[in-house]
């Protein structure tokens, strides 16, 4: 018996082979939840090399793992730039399982094209980051929140923010702004939904050892004449040296905190933003 038996969890951005979404899906499933997996269907050029080599199939592969744990799983492909698709995703999940108890807003825009000074940042890139990282979180929260309110059984909403939600770095204006906004949205939504026993919290990871595609890392690897995987490994190694605990986060470190916030043990915690960064940032 798990502490999430009978719960239904919807997770966006859940298709990455080493991603937070997959780790969260497996963690919640192991604790008894049935899972709704959502992601966008990416073009081959937008897939990490490791996933291509492993013939990873996004949420199709994750669903097989969830079902191997004995849990039910629904897959929904959803473009988070399309309001109609977001609303349909929430409705389909609720219709399929009868209710939604946990929402994890995990999806985010592919980083890298924003890695320029603000004077060189294109409006198109700026708008894209806000659309995926902020507006989509608002819309998914709105539509799933409506369902949770109608259900009358409370709920948990957990937003995957970032250490960039609390501290800016050079050449990250679009990403940082979009993630700062997630914390404001988390606090406001928590206050609006508190009368319905729906908690809303954020998790703020630092560097996480995923294979997520990063356009800036791709460009740097090409410029140095090395494989993207090798350049990424060096980024991870450098980040580990700068971390007090001596390593970067794994996706499972983030999933562990998400699972706690999704549980009954966290029923008096709302409007908070928790760091998972090994001591790099303390506020």
CATH of the domain at 77: 3.40.50.720
The whole-number pLDDT of residue 157 equals 99
Under a CB-based contact definition with an 8 Å cutoff, are residues 165 and 273 in contact? yes
Direct distance between the N- and C-terminal alpha carbons of the chain, in angstroms, rounded to an integer: 36
Contacts of 223 (CB under 8 A, 6+ apart): none
E strands, the chain, are 8-11, 34-39, 73-77, 102-105, 155-160, 198-205, 273-276
Does residue 19 belong to any structural domain of this protein?
Answer: yes
Distance CA 143, CA 89 (A): 9
Does residue 193 belong to any structural domain of this protein?
Answer: yes
Q: In this structure, what token pair is assigned to residue 39?
A: 């992601």
Q: How far is CA 28 from CA 21, 118, 140, in A?
A: 11, 39, 19
Does residue 260 belong to any structural domain of this protein?
Answer: yes
Does residue 89 belong to any structural domain of this protein?
Answer: yes
Does residue 40 belong to any structural domain of this protein?
Answer: yes
Does residue 114 belong to any structural domain of this protein?
Answer: yes
Does residue 222 belong to any structural domain of this protein?
Answer: no
Q: In this structure, what token pair is assigned to residue 57?
A: 């199939």
Coil/strand/helix, residue 106: coil
Digit-by-digit pLDDT tens for the chain (283 residues) are 579 999 999 999 999 999 999 999 999 999 999 999 999 998 877 788 888 889 999 999 999 999 999 999 999 999 999 999 999 999 999 999 999 999 999 999 988 889 999 999 999 999 999 999 999 999 999 999 999 999 999 999 999 999 999 999 999 999 999 999 999 999 999 999 999 999 999 999 999 998 776 777 777 878 889 887 888 888 899 999 999 999 999 999 999 999 999 999 999 999 999 999 999 999 8
Q: Give CA angle at 183 (177, 189), nearest 5°.
A: 130
Domain count, the chain: 1
Does residue 142 belong to any structural domain of this protein?
Answer: yes
Largest CA distance in the chain: 57
Under a CB-based contact definition with an 8 Å cutoff, are residues 235 and 217 in contact? yes
Which residues are 154's β-sheet partners? none
Q: Give CA angle at 36 (1, 27), nearest 5°.
A: 45
DSSP state of 17: T
The whole-number pLDDT of residue 213 equals 65
Just list the catalytic residues: 175, 179
CA-wise closest residue to 208 among 171, 173, 244, 249: 249
User: Half-sphere exposure of 180 toward its Cβ, with a 13 Å CA cutoff?
Assistant: 10
Q: In this structure, what token pair is assigned to residue 206?
A: 């630092």
Range of the domain at 113: 8-210+250-276
Coil/strand/helix, residue 235: helix
């Amino acid at each position: 018996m798990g502490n999430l038996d009978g719960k239904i969890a919807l997770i966006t951005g859940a298709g990455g082979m080493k991603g937070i979404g997959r780790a969260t899906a497996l963690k919640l499933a192991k604790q008894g939840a049935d899972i709704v997996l959502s992601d966008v269907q990416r073009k081959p050029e937008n897939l990490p090399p490791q996933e291509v080599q492993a013939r990873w199939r996004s949420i199709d592969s994750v669903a097989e793992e969830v079902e191997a744990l004995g849990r039910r799983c629904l897959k929904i492909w959803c473009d988070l730039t399309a309001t109609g698709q977001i609303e349909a995703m929430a409705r389909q999940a609720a219709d399929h399982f009868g209710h939604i108890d946990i929402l994890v807003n995990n999806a985010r825009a592919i980083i890298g094209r924003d890695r320029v000074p603000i004077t060189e940042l294109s409006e198109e890139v700026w708008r894209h980051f806000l659309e995926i990282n902020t507006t989509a979180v608002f819309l998914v929260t709105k539509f799933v929140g409506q369902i949770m309110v109608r259900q009358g059984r409370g709920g948990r909403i957990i937003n995957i923010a970032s250490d960039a939600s609390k501290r800016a770095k050079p050449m990250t204006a679009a990403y940082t702004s979009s993630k700062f906004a997630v914390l404001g949205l988390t606090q406001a939504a928590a206050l609006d939904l508190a009368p319905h026993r729906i908690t809303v919290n954020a998790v703020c990871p630092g560097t996480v050892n995923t294979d997520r595609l990063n356009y800036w890392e791709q460009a740097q690897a090409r410029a140095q004449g090395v494989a993207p995987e090798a350049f990424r490994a060096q980024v991870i190694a450098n980040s580990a040296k700068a971390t007090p605990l001596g390593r970067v986060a794994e996706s499972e470190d983030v999933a562990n905190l998400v699972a706690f916030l999704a549980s009954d043990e966290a029923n008096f915690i709302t409007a908070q933003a928790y760091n998972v960064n090994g001591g790099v940032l303390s506020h």
